[in-house]
Chains A and B, each alone.
Chain A
Amino acid sequence: MATQTAATAVAPAPEAKGTSTRTIALAIVGLLILLAAPFVIYPVFVMKVLCFALFAAAFNLLLGYVGLLSFGHAAFFGGAAYICAYSIKAWNFPPEIAILAGTLFAAALGAVIGYLAIRRQGIYFAMITLALSQMFFFVCLQAPFTGGEDGIQGVPRGKLLGFIDLGDSLAMYYFVAAVFLFGFLAIWRIVNSPFGNILKAIRENEQRAISLGYRVDHYKLGAFVISAALTGLAGAVKAIVFQLASLTDVGWQMSGEVILMTLLGGIGTLVGPVAGAALVVSLENYLATSSFPVPVVIGTIFVACVLMFRRGIVGEINAFLDRKK
């Protein structure tokens, strides 16, 4: 019983009921916002939000639906960014191949780190992922191809599929929006598939899932690799948007930031990480030109969130709507 109530508290109402009218309405509104955003808000900023939103959503696939807290997702995000930026700059890869290379690299790295990490649970899992990603950080710091603390700069955006000029900010925007939609729908599909149901079963009661005959480790590793690959996709696209890859993206602070985004938005909700990412990125960007110290403000919001609405922004809204019914 206890686990069941926990499950209903965590799992969001809309997707649990499949395609309710509310979900469809929300989806249409979301799509319209996505299409209209660059005409209202500065496109590069929206692209950044979308990259981090995909990153947070991929992270949430692991934390929210499998219950695995990875503290090393920056390795996939930044690693893919480096591979993507380097392959364009040094080998003249077209953008779509470079992004694919970055994503595949993140998936492979995810398979290695995941294979080692999923043998442990809870805090030990988090610590193993942190340790391995820090190792990766130091590799990036030392390896000559990453440019050390200077990073890789001036990556040309190139032409998508040979004819769409990504130097044009609107073309770039709709490409990023399409990638985001692809990633987001992939996560939605996974969460609502039999595979996703088993992941949730593992989250709720791993022993029971084992007793039902599921090879829990295989499912966990699968989810880990998918999450790493989608994280890599976000990182690779971000490298093209900003035309750079740097150590910021592989540092542990980045792993912490994505946890913050997911927590603020709402763990285990599909839209939550997107809202959380939008909030954190907006604060970082708009507070930068104010006289407020950015880390202090974000920290205060985090404390307030943990104290007052633990389900995160979207989690609380969902709970409120459910109570009203």
Chain B
Amino acid sequence: MRRSRAFDATVRQIARRYSAAGVVAAGLASALPVPAALAQGAVSDGIVKIGILNDQSGVYADFGGKGSVEAAKMAVEDFGGKVLGAPIEVVNADHQNKPDVASNIARQWYDVDKVDTIMELTTSSVALAVQQLSREKKKINMVTGAATSELTGKQCSPYGFHWAYDTYSLAVGTGGALVEAGGKTWYFLTADYAFGHSLEEQTAKFVKSKGGQVLGQVRHPLSTSDFSSFLLQAQASKANIVGLANAGLDTSNAIKQAAEFGIVEGGQRLAALLFTLAEVHGLGLKSANGLVLTEGYYWDLDDKSRPFAERYMKRTGRMPNMVQAGTYSTVAQYLKAVQAAGTDDTDAVAKKLHELPVDDFFGRGGKVLANGRMVHDMYLFEVKKPSESKAPWDYYKHLATIPGDQAFMTVAQSGCQLAN
């Protein structure tokens, strides 16, 4: 035991020394009106490191991937590359959708590489694992890529933030707003596991609360390649809307095969619950046209959303989806919070992140709730027909805007115990 303590001391020696200096400097900074540029000692280790941890080689490589890393770098450049006089660095890693790889890298970043915050975190299991770890190590994590509303629910953290979307907002957007737009009767195609069930259940609740009707549902196993029998049942139900309560490849396969069965041509509409611009691009308009979906960002929404998208396009050759645009927003907001706090101390920055309003091209008039949820408007889109698309990446028709306070749960609803 004595040996291990000695070891720990050596490992963290430098970090401690620096953080001690940081505390002193922070004290000085608050006591004297020191200009921000002189308050360099307020930043631990003299550098602000932001880690982007996501899937860069697997099924979610387009969903977030290298695009998110690029977006984060853009946010740092736009901020001027320095905060409180200290340089900002973006590091990134590919977690290969394995929570243990993610956990290993995150620990190493926090313990050895002096990373101050980890962001993006596509895949729910990874996001939850890193959020628990960050809480233990007292570091800030900001999630854009994962869907689970658990992150700001039962497993919420005082240092954890959830930015772009969650399962609840997708259900409100697609389920609630689509009924108002005329989709009164629903039939669900649901992936047969917890994620699919909860998506179906949440969406059905909004459909019913808006006066819609659920005619039935069929469950398919995870990673199904042949959807024909499920699609025939959906077709026979004669429901206005076929809701796809699944994700990733399952959704893509279902949409492709639905096009072959002429479901959209037959007057029914497909509603995907978790689908972004990147997947629409992958499928092509020929298969995806008529699909209804909810996203927190679309590059061609208005004049405010376009400049970022065009710069991003120049760097990556693609248009950003809500995960990539959201990652830009998290990095920018984090840096603003560090600036406002005058230090990169976790408690001070987390406090500022909770206090500061979010107002950029992504989170317009956004605010952060006590459970770490960033509340902003969500949008309901319909995918255009090939004939309607006038330019590359011209994919969406804007159907409705879901105001932030309807799109997300309140703290009381979320089940997060932090607020009390």
Contacts and interface: CB of A to CB of B under 8 A. Distances in A.
A131 interface: no
Given A242-B99, A288-B95, A295-B57, A142 B193 contact: yes
Contacts of B129: 151, 153, 242-244, 246
Interface of A: 38-39, 42, 44-45, 48, 138, 141-142, 144, 147-151, 153-154, 164, 168-171, 238, 242-244, 246-249, 284-285, 287-289, 293-296
B181 interface: no
B68 to A, nearest CB: 14
Given A293-B56, A293-B57, A48 B100 contact: yes
Contacts of B133: 243
Contacts of B93: 288-289
B7 interface: yes
Contacts of A149: 124-125, 193-195
A279 B131 CA distance: 29
Given A169-B8, A170-B4, A248 B99 contact: yes
A178 B105 CA distance: 24
B132 to A, nearest CB: 4
A150 B150 CA distance: 9
Given A150-B125, A285-B104, A285-B105, 20 more contacts: A42-B112, A44-B111, A45-B104, A142-B192, A148-B195, A149-B195, A150-B194, A151-B99, A164-B1, A170-B3, A170-B7, A238-B100, A242-B103, A244-B103, A246-B99, A246-B125, A247-B125, A249-B100, A287-B94, A288-B101
Contacts of A150: 124-125, 128, 148, 150, 194
Given A150-B124, A244-B103, A288 B222 contact: no
Contacts of A285: 101, 104-105
Query: Chain B interface mostly helix, strand, loop or mixed?
Result: helix
B252 to A, nearest CB: 18
A110 B95 CA distance: 30
A154 B7 CA distance: 25
Interface residues of B, number: 43
Contacts of B194: 141-142, 144, 147-150
Query: Chain A interface mostly helix, strand, loop or mixed?
Result: helix
Contacts of A138: 221-222
Contacts of B385: none
B7 A39 contact: yes
Contacts of B96: 284, 288, 294-295
Interface string B65-109: 000000000000000000000000001111111111101110110
A167 to B, nearest CB: 9
28 contacts: A44-B107, A45-B108, A48-B104, A142-B192, A142-B194, A148-B194, A149-B125, A150-B124, A150-B125, A151-B129, A154-B132, A154-B155, A168-B1, A168-B4, A169-B111, A170-B7, A242-B100, A243-B129, A243-B133, A244-B132, A248-B100, A248-B125, A284-B101, A289-B92, A289-B94, A293-B94, A294-B94, A295-B58
Nearest to A48: B104
Interface in B152-178: 155
A287 B4 CA distance: 30
B57 A151 contact: no
Nearest to A297: B57
A291 to B, nearest CB: 8
A265 B98 CA distance: 22
